[in-house]
Chain A
Amino acid sequence: MKKIAVTGGKGGTGKSTVSVLLAKKLMASQKVLLADLDTECPNDHLLTGISLEKPIKETLSKLPEIDTAKCQKCGECVKSCTSNALFMPPGKTPIVLPDLCSACQTCLDVCPHQAITAKDNVTGKIYRHDFGKNLILVTGQARARLIETASVVRQTKETALEIGRKEKVDTIIFDTAAGTHCPVVVAIMGVEKAIAVTEPTPMGAHDLDLILQLLEKIEVPCDIFLNQADLGKKDLITDLVKKFGKQKLSHEIKHSTKLAKAYSRGDLLNDPEVNLQYDGKI
């Protein structure tokens, strides 16, 4: 099973569009699984015209629970919490702010009085939709207001990989969130290749620079797709591509009203005139 991540740094450059169109292209000749790992605002289901109905699974995080009888109010847990999810009112047992907790469980380890235990807490939902025999969409959706979503991404990815193995999928595409933070790193780790989607704007270049640095660090080779390639300032991107030792852009997608309309109708899979023109190796 081949694993590909579609990423790019900046939001709104066309990651989901490329993911869906890539899945559409590949599903003509093989079995594909598209995993929407942008769990804070998944939208591959919108682009493919379906709605998220019954979840197949819930994602869980172990959140700390403090035993007031055992707690000596030393504050060690509060000091250890880099997410600022613990707060100690003076002279009282610390309180847990679940929206901020990343479930790292460091507080459990540092508590000198073993007063903290971990308790399962629902952090999100995982959905599955089959489009005929050759395309499965797996979507992760984090609970509203949750700040630390990396574990929702991790669990959605594990579920997608499990389904992929069971269903004998040939290629799995991970559609990542924007950014270069933990939820994106978790989505990309372990893939054979990434596709970085960007746009010819200063912000597109700035964020592409960051994602290319990240990909270099975690040693994931990548192709660069430039969306809206005939608008804006292409030099911003081609200069950057050279800085990272690449000869040229892997693919250019020109502005297309037809594509934009199919996108807005949730018709990317069905519209026969909208396709990814990329001929390179995936």
Chain B
Amino acid sequence: MRTIRFLLQKEFLQIFRNKGMLPIIFVMPVVQLIILSNAATFELNKVNFYLVDHNHSTTSQELVSHFESTGYFKLNGYSQSVDDGIQSILAGRDEMVLTIPPNFERDLKARKHADLQLIINGVDGSIANLILSYSQSIIGKYNASIQPTVRQLDVNHNVGQINVQSVNWYNPELNYINYMVPGILVVLVTMIGMFLSGMNIVREREIGTIEQLNVTPIKRYQFITGKLLPFWIIGLFEMAFGLGIARWGFGIPFVGSFWLVMLITAIYLLAVQGLGLLISTMTDTQQQAMFIAWFISVVFILMGGLFTPIESMPIWAQRLTWINPIAYFIEIMRMVLLKGAGIKDIWELTTALLVMAGIVLTLAISRYRKASV
């Protein structure tokens, strides 16, 4: 026990002596939370559109003002040539060209339907989809406003109308930041756990100081405890700190239990630290270790449902998330923090994390040798 205490003391001294370390611990979470949570959104903001109005009628003008009044679209240029509009998409000034044909108003009155053309910049598929569905709903609403109220005229011939009303639970304003923050906290502790603790051991090996530790009477488990424990504590602190910022800095309404989150974080940290340790037993230089750790964490994060829902992935890719600790932890965090899920809702996921931590740690410790090869 005494040995471990001294080892811990040495590690903490080393960590905090490093000038770069304090900003990493205190500044990184704030910056990450602020930037990531604000940047990671697919909401549609002001979209510039180009108008080619061949009709110049009251109806066409009304339609355009409907587009503008939603606040999502901004008229950025107009002329009589569609080619000019396409040029402006090519140049990146506009995202959409709205073309109104010459006989628009007449067709609408006489033939009961008229065509419109939307040319949308499809380079960014998700934005293009949003633009399309917003435009369609604007046109649909305008359609509804100009037609005589059919159902009132026709109520006897009609079967009746199904009224749909939509309620959004847990996040009534559909605030995307609330959703992102728990996931970002996961990324944060992953970086601390996997990168720093893994790198620490390789560093000793690369510099050669591990030899000195190897010839001391320190036992294997003591050495590993001494290496893992400091970053485990820092990771836990980091989570509490991040939660605090999210709660009071961002005003995100967390409904779940703080202590439950900390408990799961403690388990999760063991799993990722084990991964970091495993990587460090397989590598000789920090560059290598960092590279592998970066690679693994990018794959885990992208496949873990942070940015894109796991349910949208093909089945084989969903299966792969069974071995992805980040996916489990992100899901648990969201369930607990946003929906107030209790231990009985998440025990299966938690058990999975525990098993993972056990396997990875055992593997890492058994691979670690005191003797140098």
Partners in one complex: no
